[in-house]
Amino acid sequence: MEAIEQEIIALREQLHQHNYRYYIEDAPTISDYDFDHLLKKLETLEQENPQYADPNSPTQRVGGQVTKNFLNKPHRYPMYSLDNSYSKEELYQWEKRLKKIVGLDTAVQYTCELKFDGASINLRYQNGLLIQGLTRGDGQQGDEITANLKTISSIPIQLKGDYPETFEIRGEIVMPIAGFEALNKKRIEAGEPPYMNPRNTASGSLKLQDSRQVAKRPLLCFLYALAGEDLGIATQAEALESARSWGFDVPDSARLVDSIEGVFEYIAYWEKARADLPYEIDGIVIKVNRLDLQEQLGFTAKAPRWAISYKFKAEQVFTTLESVSYQVGRTGAITPVANLEPVLLSGTTVKRASLHNEDQILKLDLRIGDRVFVEKGGEIIPKIVGIDENFRGPLEDKVVFIHHCPDCNSLLEKQEGEAQHYCTNSNQCPTQIIGKIQHFISRKAMDIEGLGGETVALLYQNGLIENCADLYTLQFDQLLPLERMAEKSITNLLEGVEASKTKPFEKVLFALGIRYVGETVAKKLAEAFGSIDQLAAASIDQLVAVDEIGERIAQSVNDFFKQPYNIKLVSRLQDYGLKLVAQKRTTSHFLPLQNLRIVVSGVFKDFSREELKSTVAHFGGTLVSSVSSKTDLIIAGEGMGPSKLQKATDLGIPIINEVQFKERIS
């Protein structure tokens, strides 16, 4: 190795260590001047010797890469959101549920962590080097922002200690309050409008195209969760300590408690102490400490069962109700919206708040001119929570829910048991039509590149489309005269439409927008019936027989396929080549688990939980989350919950262990 290469490597290692001491240990051993001198020396050597360039060099902290378009990439391990709680009673209920699932009647250990109010990210490391950083996105996929994340000094680009060969770690990007205020001071002095709050500013900073601008932002990254295979870690507390030893900024505010009462003590402390923090938090995250219990508890479609957030009481402000307007959703649901005198709430200016439905209006006894109390539900969506009885609007200005659709003037209907009114003119109401097509092209549905919501509205307003099937009839010459439609954008749109024909059946089914049929339900229906024709012919009883499909969903699906308009729409989509038949399982091997609904419970010696689930699916089985009369088989590992075992025994469901499972599929 040449002397110059050795000098460059030594300088990099030295600077990595100083970065760690400064940002993680908060115990710098050299002055800022000396650090900058070493960094400048390294930068000069790298410029003079480009053959020794390294994307993980400390000089990359200053940025320099410009990203015009951030690539969307899938998460190897989904980033779930958390269920929220707002009281001790809700936390008691959560603990009761999880104990029932795993069959415990003793105290459970929990880790309690601050819920930072920022932007979630996922980092991937290989051989100790940062190789990828993604935003949370929709939890299944996010935007790659690796170059921008490397500019944040509290994110190590080279690890230390005994770290796994490959793993991922989740964290939250936050902007300290002092840094946010200093940033706004500069903007005001420059005649620019100030940013509204630290959270939005942190999130927006991650998507700046020039990484040099990101480097100038006072951003921090706090890490809180590991993801990967065979990491050799048994608890969440151990995961936090390990991550800290590898060089990550893991706040020492996390605590391991021995019971739910310890959780309440932690919450009580931070409800007061959060005011003294240099950054914003909006609650506490509580996690089951043992990872094997986490694995047994698993996930719902949206959130882990083994974790929950406790949200602090939302900030409340008062303002005046100026008017009420009504929105039409893609399913025809009518949502009343309160238009308010603008007011600052939790760092953002609030002008509107959801009133949900007629019942909410009647409960509040709203009048135009009322002084109303507004808060952010779950710190996100503004809502009216009360009225100041001393400042009421005139009685004659009482808010009365509308009887006709604000868009197409059709008479509204409210079905028994439903809270919302609906416009039933679903095939001619312009807002519903546009909304349905926008849902059809959305990322989680057909994900048609080159086609956005505004373009859908433009195509409809120009008479080129009236439903999603019309997208597949669009021609270049039709689009060219439209405003904002250049040749390149038209080509991208048409290519995106054509490419969508390869989307699997469950995506198409979800894209149809059948009421109550979300992503998870669409996948279950596609697996159960195999084709749109068989699904359309299914009876209510056949639909309800599918795991997790209830009467309401079954009735909605049945009603959808009774309507001539929908039958014709589906027929057109079939004619245009969309996949309305599920991909057949391979028949190169026998399927000993075919048509069996299987519950997996416990910890296994030769399989990770994900490997076992994949194997079950490979051999034809359908995984279900809970034991019921519809369950055909249980694969039980160590630590299967007694309640599950008892229920399975009572129902006479066969139970096999790991050895028997391997024999069955061999």
Q: Which residues of the chain have pLDDT under 70?
A: 1, 20-27, 32-33, 60-66, 68, 347, 377-380, 584-590, 608-610, 614, 625, 641
Write down the pLDDT at residue 43.
78
Pairing relationship of beta strands 166-174 and 220-227 according to DSSP bridges: antiparallel
52's tokens: 């020794």
Q: What are phi and psi of 15, to 5 degrees?
A: -70, -40
Write down the pLDDT at residue 61.
63
Inter-residue contact 543 to 526 (CB < 8 Å): no
Write down the pLDDT at residue 101.
87
Give the three-state DSSP class for 83.
Answer: coil
First to last CA, the chain: 53
Sorted by sequence, the CB contacts under 8 Å of residue 189 that are 6+ apart come out as none
Sorted by sequence, the CB contacts under 8 Å of residue 421 that are 6+ apart come out as 333, 334, 357, 358, 401, 412, 413, 414
- The CB-based long-range contact list for 292-295 (8 Å cut-off, 24+ gap) reads 292/234, 292/603, 292/639, 293/102, 293/108, 294/236, 295/603, 295/609
Sheet holding 129-135, edge to edge: 129-135, 119-126, 166-174, 220-227
Q: Which amino acid is at 100?
A: K
Q: What are phi and psi of 567, to 5 degrees?
A: -60, -45
The sign one gets for the Cα dihedral 112, 113, 114, 118 is: negative
Half-sphere exposure of 357 (CA within 13 A, CB side): 10
pTM to 2 decimals?
A: 0.59
Write down the pLDDT at residue 421.
94
Burial class (CB in 10 A: 0-12, 13-18, 19+), 260: middle
CA of 120: how far to CAs of 134, 171, 175, 485, 660, in Å?
9, 6, 13, 35, 42
Cα angle 427, 433, 434 (rounded to 5 degrees) comes to 175
Give the three-state DSSP class for 582.
Answer: coil
Which are the catalytic amino acids? 115
Write down the pLDDT at residue 570.
96
The sign one gets for the Cα dihedral 211, 58, 18, 157 is: positive
What is the rounded CA–CA span in Å between residue 459 and residue 445?
Answer: 19
Q: What are phi and psi of 264, to 5 degrees?
A: -65, -40
Q: CA gyration radius for the chain?
A: 28
Name the H helices within 176-216: 177-189, 198-205, 211-215
Cα 547 to its chain centre, rounded Å, is 24
Sorted by sequence, the CB contacts under 8 Å of residue 13 that are 6+ apart come out as none
Sorted by sequence, the CB contacts under 8 Å of residue 344 that are 6+ apart come out as 317, 350
646's tokens: 């008892």
pLDDT tens readout for residues 312-343: 877 789 999 999 999 998 889 999 999 999 99
